[in-house]
Amino acid sequence: MSPKDHFVKRAFDLVLASVGLVVAAPLIALSWIVATLETKENGFFLQRRIGKDGKPFKIIKIRTMYPIEGTTITTASDRRITKSGRFFRKYKIDELPQLINILKGDMSFVGPRPDVPGYADRLQGEDRIILSVRPGITGPASIKYKDEEEILARVDDPKRYNDEVIWPDKVRINKEYVKNWSLKKDIIYLIKTLKG
């Protein structure tokens, strides 16, 4: 991506996130209250993720799990997911606070999903092109694996399957996204995401 491409993408994000946050604020507030009451914890969940240039940041989401220690790999049958959390996750409501991450400059609307430490920060060689852009709320890999939790629930070793099958495929998809970026494609990915 050229400097001009980065500028256009960032300007698009700022305008859309500003409008989106105003519209979504009541729903975010209501979801935060519900999550707080159900989990007895802060309804906002902050987690360390790897961002642009490999720099860590705190992603903001609506809390959808009870605070039980476990793997960072989540399946559809995960016992940690709350009742409201299943609803929030199904309709992507838990992702809405990431509009704040976009305004802060941590994220973009479209791009590679930000991973927990141990994945993106270990990319080598040409694969590190993925780290040249801000991570996104959605993107081509996210759309392909929109049912990732269901896929992982069907395999014997979810972490191994993620590490050996899903993660390498996401790296391939995300490399192509960065190499062939256009605003038009970003808009198409957003529309596909909204359509479910």
Burial environment of residue 160 by CB neighbours within 10 A (0 to 12, 13 to 18, 19 or more): exposed
pLDDT recorded at residue 77: 63
Q: What is the pLDDT of residue 72?
A: 62
Q: Are 29 and 37 in contact (CB under 8 A)?
A: no
Q: What is the pLDDT of residue 181?
A: 96
Distance of alpha carbon 10 from alpha carbon 6, whole angstroms: 6
Instruction: Give the pLDDT of residue 75.
Output: 62
Is-above-0.85 flag for pTM? yes
Q: Which neighbouring-strand residues pair with 61?
A: 45
pLDDT score recorded for residue 191: 94
| DSSP state letters, 155-191 | SS-HHHHIIIIIHHHHHHHHHHHHHT--HHHHHHHHH
Cβ of 137: how many Cβ atoms within 10 Å? Answer: 24
Residue 119, pLDDT score = 87
pLDDT in tens, the chain (196 residues): 889 999 999 999 999 999 999 999 999 999 999 999 999 999 999 999 999 999 999 999 999 988 766 566 666 567 788 999 999 998 899 999 999 999 999 999 999 999 988 888 888 999 999 999 999 999 999 999 988 988 998 999 999 999 999 999 999 999 999 999 999 999 999 999 988 7
How many C-beta atoms surround the C-beta of residue 162 within 10 A?
Answer: 23
Radius of gyration of the chain (CA): 16
- What is the pLDDT at residue 70? 59
- Cβ(95)–Cβ(20) under 8 Å? no
